[in-house]
Structure 1
Amino acid sequence: MSSDRRTAVAAGVLFLVTEIAAIGGLALYQPLLDAAPGALGPGAATSALRGALCELVLVAAVIGTGTVLFPVIRRRHEGVALGYACLRLLEAVVIAVGVLGVLTLVTLRQEAAGVGGTAGVDRALVALHDWTFLLGPNIALGMNTALLAYVMYRARLVPRFIAVLGLVGGPLICASGVAVMFGAYEQVSVAGSALAVPVFAWEVVLAVRLIAKGFEPARGRADVVGTSQTTHAR
């Protein structure tokens, strides 16, 4: 198996892990986030801790995709490769901040049960999670998706229809994040979910393609987008 084939398989697996971990984390957190301030229902703390574990797996997988794909993208466009890696790292950091907010919320509700005056802090921690959930897996995700899809489209690393999914899905989920930010609708809503479908499809279809067949063979100059500029610069 060639190095590019191993890279493709690793990236595909990591993309699938990001989807599973993100969905699992949200589902496990939800009872805690939906409860009244100060309330900690039966099993909510354990569920939230499991959700935090899923999110930590998500953080590792997000960083992993940026690291694994960096050499492949760099050969096509060095600037985009650096931008993609940085945005993936930013996304992971924002998610990690959200995990810390949820874990702090669990501790607050466990230790301040029946104690007055903590409702404001409680709501602030829920809001912190909500904002990180918006800025990380929506806006930052949309930007890095668009960058990766752009390189894959220009260099024909995958069939064009897969890259187009990313070129459509990335800006859509970014736009959705901005709409949520300005109060157009809730992030977890019919509209928010509908606008997230293309980027979800992009990651799943891309993952399956990379695991099953890897990258497309090089096709002349289409495989070296940006390399001429890099060569001249050196």
Structure 2
Amino acid sequence: MNANQPGLFDDLPTSPDEIICGVDEAGRGPLAGPVFAAAVILDPSRPIDGLRDSKKLTEAKRDLLAPLIKAHALAWAIAEASEAEIDKLNILHASMLAMRRAVEALKVQPTLALIDGNRCPVMKIQSIAVVGGDDKVDAISAASILAKTARDAALVTLHAAYPQYCFDQHKGYGTALHLERLRQFGASPVHRRSFAPVRAVLVAGPQSLTEE
């Protein structure tokens, strides 16, 4: 779907002069690594087939679409908020910060930001929250794909530095494997200390978490 599709969002200001960017984040739930966000302004003259919520696409499909988005979009940007910022601000506010950074990094200045979800970051331009927007608005779908692929790539890089945690397999999410390695090795510098499983092992030390 497209944000300019008649009847999709009747209250959106979709005049011909409106420059709309879609914004989404990736990585709120994981126990480790930054939270990423992306902003995308699509080019109506260069449509991209197959855009949808990144969570509904295979990794291979996301990896095919990400370079197409970068090549065909009028503008795109990816930003992040660090583990330290997540622990300081909490994950919601850190996600908002990453989204604002992504919008501000765009080389084309948008006039309207469509944000996936029910909250908008504080920005200089108008923004509208769109619940389920990553599967309703093409520009948000594109942003979700860029944020997801960028974060996955970052966790593969972190795996090279901390191979004992197997970040390349679970991308920081709290899987059984990740919790097992967290119990065994304790928290790394890239773990989110404000998240309960990490906080528990920091308090009690490695091997402190009980098996499910």
- TM-score (norm. length: structure 2): 0.28
Q: Which has the larger radius of gyration?
A: 1
More helix by share: 1
- TM-score (norm. length: structure 1): 0.26
